[in-house]
Structure 1
Amino acid sequence: MKILRAADYRRMAWKNGKGETVEIAVYPPNASVNDFDWRISMAAVVEDGAFSVFEGIDRTLSVLSGEGIVLSVEGQADMTLRQETPPHAFAADAPTSARLLSDAITDLNVMTRRGTFTHRVSLKTSLDNVAPAPDASVTLILTVGECRLREDGAALGPLDAVILEEGDAPIGADAAGKTAFYVVELLAV
């Protein structure tokens, strides 16, 4: 098990230059936005507009904070995403735009290169005995609020993450108040 602290995440401009992204984890290590196999990041969306296009990439989007957005992906019906909405998967190379429901949001982006990796993202309100999936290369758990890991007592702050790899023991956490957890499973093809 490896703990990633939100304060240590790498910050960079969006691919389209219209905002900033906060990279939680990327593979291979130090890959750029043009050559990653998988990437997990967060971004503040402060105005309506188009998303960056990522050729050959599949993407799942979730709302971490804020009222929400209406996501428009070419070829799909518009989808309203809020904090309680299940993560939404779509092709990152399809023209996509978002309209804010109110003020700015922060979103969670999980992206994998087609033919190399796939991914699953689930939203949980508790964390009990989460283990690396047998078919996953890596499982990342992002905490939305504060919690304490049961196994070693480590405190996790908002937006800290834990990475589990094959063979790691299951983990559980006790939350300090109401929180949510995103479980991201990355699967090699």
Structure 2
Amino acid sequence: MEIIRYAELKAIPWRNGGGVTRELARHPRTPPAQASRQTAAPDDAWDWRVSIAEVSKAGAFSTFAGMDRVLTVVDGELLLLSVDGAEHPLEKYRPFRFSGDAESAGALPTGDIRDLNVITRNGSFKGYTSIIELSKKRAHPVFAGQFGILLQGQATVSPGAAGGVLAGAGSAGGPTGLPATDIPETERVELNRYDAVVGADAATPEVLGRGFLAVVSIDPEAETGAD
């Protein structure tokens, strides 16, 4: 069972000084020599990336040519996002999809915000973000190709039964939760705010608690070609 601890991630400043970004995961992973760089310049050496940004100043967002973006405000009240001149008021916990090719900028009418970013390469992967309310009675599974990110509240994660329960799983409409199993307290690992659980289909991690969880799904897109 893999947990990405938010407190251990490096904060990389934006080039315009408007905020910082912490990267939870990307594919393919950046070689260590690149990961140690202090710049926040965007690159195209990956096919998908999941990150959390702290936005403290209005201004332009980076463009990601050939990419698809899903942005979700996870802390703060409101982000006014301008995409190719059209303004979109983004409230907390409401995912918004837009093109990475677009000219985009953000304004902060109610103060600083944090946002969860899921960026995927068109034609290779498709990203989805869902916000679910956790329960102390029904554990929520995190399957392979998914990340479960604790946004608010208190929660623990534990490995489920080998092989997990896959029926109905997937970004298009999976189960709302599994009955909480009688797992010893010693096998439950506490999550802190913005920690991410990496999904798996064997011993599928199950999150239990009170609060809100972002479930990010990264689905490969089917290749198409001539017969």
Matched with 1:153 is 188
After TM superposition, list the pairs within 5 Å mapping 1:6-155 onto structure 2. Answer: 6-14=6-14, 18-30=18-30, 33-34=42-43, 35-74=45-84, 77-84=86-93, 86-126=94-134, 128-132=139-143, 138-145=145-152, 146-149=154-157, 151=159, 152-155=187-190
Q: Give the Å deviation of 1:101.
A: 2.1
Q: CA RMSD in A?
A: 2.1
Residue identity over aligned pairs, in percent, reads 32
- 3-state SS in 2 of match to 1:93: coil
Q: Label 1:160 to 1:168 Cα distance change in 2 as closer, same or farther (>3 A).
A: same
Deviations 1:105-133 (A, max 9, x none): 1111110111221111101112633242x
Residue number in structure 1 paired with 2:39: none
Q: Provide Cα deviations, 1:22-46, integer angstroms capped at 9, x if missing partner.
A: 1111111126641111111111111
Q: Provide the rounded CA distance (Å) in 1 between the counterparts of 2:202 and 2:122.
A: 26
TM-score by length of 1: 0.85
- Structure 1 unmatched runs, 5+: none
- Per the normalisation by structure 2, the TM-score is 0.72
CA distance in 1, matches of 2:108, 2:128: 25
Q: Offset at 1:18?
A: 4.4
1:182 corresponds to which of 199, 214, 223: 214
CA distance in 2, matches of 1:90, 1:11: 25
Give the 3 Å change call, closer, same or farther, for CA 168–10 of structure 1 in structure 2: farther
- Distance in 2 (CA, whole Å) between partners of 1:166 and 1:15 is 39
Whether the 8 Å CA contact 1:40–1:110 is kept in 2: the answer is yes
Post-superposition CA distance 1:50-103 (Å, at most 9, x none): 11011111111111111211111117x42211224x210111110011111211
| Count of residues in correspondence between the two structures | 180
